[in-house]
Structure 1
Amino acid sequence: MSVLKIYFSRQWRDSTSPCSWVLSDEQGALLQSGESTIAALPRGHECTGIIAADRVLNIAVALPPGGRRRWQSVLPFVAEEFTLTDPEDNHVVPGQALADGRRMIAVMDKAWIARIVEAARQAKLSLRRMVAEVFLPPLAPDSWTLVWNGSSGFVKTGFASGMALDNGNASTPPIALRLSLDAAPQLPQKIDFRFAQDVAAEQRHMPQWPDLQIPLVAGSDWDWRRASIPEDALNLLWGAFAPRARIQQWWPKLRPAVFLLLAILSIEMAGSNIKWAMLAAEKSRLAKEMQRTFRLTFGDAVTLVNAPLQMQRNLAELRHAAGLPDTGDFLPLLDLVAGSLSRLPAGSVTGLHYEAGRLDIDVRLASRADFEALKLSMQNSGLGVRVGAIRDLGNAAESRLTLLPEGML
């Protein structure tokens, strides 16, 4: 059966946006290709969506005990600390289990995925799989695979791990690659380097990144159109977006197993409900204890709405009254961010504004991608960072960064 592969880049917004596609036969030979809206794609084929690397965040986390049914509601809250969006705005898919007990998860914009699924449904396309491009390149033992277009790309670091890379050049590696190597528990012996298939010949110069201290080994071009998709590749259509099962194909054989599974699930659900009830009771007890501690400390005259937040604010006032600084004061915040700002080109910071424990910094950088690197650097300094709307100025980009003490954003 022929397969229709559809590539969804960061530029795809809705059903009116064009996307690249390719139709291949069972052996992977290309039959047709092009670029068009979803409504104009060839019908009557099994469809697989390929998601650009910069649309998927892959992280390793420790998950609570339980099955995938329970994870569907828990995972958005597990991923919350790694994103600046609300949990309900994230689509989170559990991936490969790691040797240290953690599990890889893939995080995406839920509304964006929903628009893809709805556009395919409206076009009557059978979209049953969606995979991240970062998982598709081959990976040799003790090595990473890097795909590069001359200024950006992505790196695959494991079977179900990888990340998009911010801007770099022939002499300067992407910051995200440096940080990934610094955080790796075991460094690769080499990095297989592949140019994206559509990179022009004059841009195909192997970068010189001696600071990495990891050899770059040139490999063949990377072309998602011709890449095979492993059967065990993580399907991002999970949870609410999972395609309907084709019951008529497997129901007669699996009927006994289904009844047994229902019995097991009933027992598991009963146990989960009991555990969640216990956790809810524990949460209520802790909330009451915090309220009691607050009132013992500050009296009953204050209207209590959020005990932890009000306690933190009152402690800040007490520190100020005693002549001591607080982490939300202007100078401590500025001290935390000074290292990141000092590495920017002269004139990059165009304004500072401080009010009530919040520091706003107006920054002008060369490109949009530079803001992600700056944000990561500030977060590594122990700050909560929110990047506002990025305005394109033609030869530069400008945005306002909001900084708060860690845990307050």
Structure 2
Amino acid sequence: MSTTLYVRLPHRPHDQPQPWHFGALPFALVRDSGMPAARRSDAAQAPEVLREGHAQIAALPPAERLVLILAASDVLLTTATVPPLPPARLKQALPNLVEDALATDAQPCHIGVGPALDGEPARPARGPRRRLLMVADRAWLRAVLDGFAEHRHRRRHILPAQMCLPLTAPAVSADATDSGNAAAQPATLVVEASATSLVQAEGMVEPTLAPGNAPASGQWQLTVRTGRHEGYGLLLGTDALAAWQALAPDGFWHGDANAVANAPVPALRRASAADWRMWIAGAQRCLQEPGLDLAQFEFAQGRADRWNLLAWRLPLALAAGIVLVQLLGMNIHWLMLHREQQRLETAQLQTLHTAFPQIQTVLDAPLQMRRQVEQLRLASGRSTPDDFLPLADRFAQAARQLPPDGLQALEYRSRTLVATLKPGTDTAALRGAARQAGLQMEEDKTADATRAVGPAGSRWVIKPGL
């Protein structure tokens, strides 16, 4: 099972200059069951929260996956008809598609492309399609990702907070069924005390709000989801929030401990608790649509970051096993050959000592055995294969087909026979005949360098065959 770390980000401060430094952030560490959401039973729907609380980024626990929930007031959801363009050209065209929906310049904004809204199946589009666009401040996102650069995680997601709220199926009444009108989608509204969780200029962290106390800043953070791909966020004072209730859509209210205790609007007196389980369940449903992830374009992870090591566990284990077996086999085979070499060397040494017990020091048993045999042959008056007469006799047998003037010179030195042949002589046939006579015939490559004068022609070195 893998783990997921959910972190809720504060709203972007409009009155605090850059660089922004984060203080204690609310987080929840969750253990994933590894089962797809469609196959989970009702008992397995609730996530298993291992840890939750507030902590600095450096003190956050490592996890397999990091999910950053961006404040709804920092993400604008809009729609536009998006042409099918490559990513580089699409990034350049997106500011022109949302500039009418923004009150500021679209160039400093990061624009994420969400899922298609035209009802067509998910497939590569051949023409423009109406899509959800998510607009956020690029500098704020860069500051957030730079702050989490040292955190230990393998996958990263950035989700809008309004998309992480649960949606309730609309209730269909009998009158609506008879009239043929579809029931309105009830909204989900969350009111929380506003806290920036940013380190101020004097190095102090804004204090965490205690239950039962009104926010020190007098502001409330409002997150609203009105449809599957619709939602927004607001930062309102107490008076503005009470006035906004008259314009609020019908739906279900949620609030944190401060909002429920102070009840800035009457609807919050019956509100449900906005705890981590609600946010985690909504984020898990949101992650099922990859288009709702704001980590796109320059904020997308690289290939190395997206590489799933767990998916390669079996192939890597198999490759490691094959390499281990190969190394073991090579070492076992080397040991067998080494023992065979030692056995042969011991047998050669024993044979040498048996035949010639006067030899005390043995450096090369086969060479010393060969020299001793040659000495015995010479002592008995018998010639050796590399003597002049045996070599000349065998070469004469091999050179029967040579023309009378084919052999220009014949020398014997260093127990080898050197023959000088007339230019143009068929040496291939002569070498074949010499091989059949038990001789080894090789051309003398150093003949031109070592001989100043002598008959012209090719020189060949003739030795006894192996």
Q: Which TM-score applies when normalising by structure 1?
A: 0.49
Bigger Cα Rg: 2
Q: Which TM-score applies when normalising by structure 2?
A: 0.44
